[in-house]
Homo-oligomer: A and B are copies of this chain.
């Protein structure tokens, strides 16, 4: 794996910008089939917002995450490319939040499209399993130095209905998120997602992963998670969307978040691995 691989790129951006902040660039707008004449204007507006926020926040970021909110209206091989160009200009790793959970041949198509479109990493759901599920996706990522980040516990209220299940395994009863964290280790994932809304789960996942696999944590801000608690529990990167996007000054908000995280890390007296 060369120095252009996802994990190296993430480490470099982390160090360069002194930041553990991942921007979730989740702008969107309502498009409808009956108003095709408005699409061009709406796409331009959406693009403008996305690019402006990148320009204002880039120096405070470790990475950028893009989800279907932006991919679906802009089109992966259409206007979205201008957002990808901008992220590339700032040399930030770009993560596609596809929460991949299809059969192998479809997962591979999605992954190829995402990587070919200029993304450095993709998020996948380990629930789909290995054989004919994520095996070919990991193979593709390894071949190209790209990253795969696995969901281990999400940030929404109902996450316990799935990620919090107790499962009977050959090794006895296990929480679902423990099974997923163990898969992240075994499959050599480049990161995991654990919601900041559940610091106790972050801690348990950290005990399994140590500093081998970094923890990315959404749910800070609008969803109620607290930065200090999250990083104390073992989070390596905070994923923040709406708190920055809805701010009157996204650049300032990103800077403040970055500095708050760094203050917490300094207080913890540690240099937590950048991944």
- A residues with a Cβ closer than 8 A to B are 26, 28, 30-33, 36, 39, 43, 67-69, 71-78, 81, 84, 97-99, 101-104, 106, 109-110, 112-114, 116-118, 125, 127-135, 154-162, 165-168, 173, 218, 223
Given A75-B78, A109-B68, decide whether A158 and B173 contact each other with a Cβ distance below 8 A. Answer: no
Given known pairs A133-B161, A167-B166, the reply for A128 and B154 (CB within 8 Å) is: yes
**Distance, CA A165 to CA B166, complexed state (A):** 10
Contact partner of A101 (CB less than 8 A), chosen from B113, B125, B133, is B125
Q: Are B31 and A116 in contact (CB under 8 A)?
A: yes
Main SS at interface, chain A: helix
- A33–B130 CA distance with the chains assembled, in angstroms: 29
CB distance from A223 to the nearest CB of B (A): 8
**Inter-subunit contact B129/A160 (CB<8 Å):** yes
Which of B36, B72, B165, B166 is within 8 Å of A76, CB to CB? B72
Whole-angstrom distance between the Cβ of A48 and the nearest chain B Cβ: 17
* Docked CA distance A98–B125 (Å): 13
CA distance A165 to B84 in the complex (A): 39
A-B pairs with lowest CB-CB distance, top 10? A129-B158, A75-B75, A129-B161, A132-B156, A127-B162, A133-B158, A131-B157, A103-B156, A166-B168, A132-B157
Taking CB atoms, residues of chain B closer than 8 Å to A77 are: 31, 39, 43, 72-73, 75
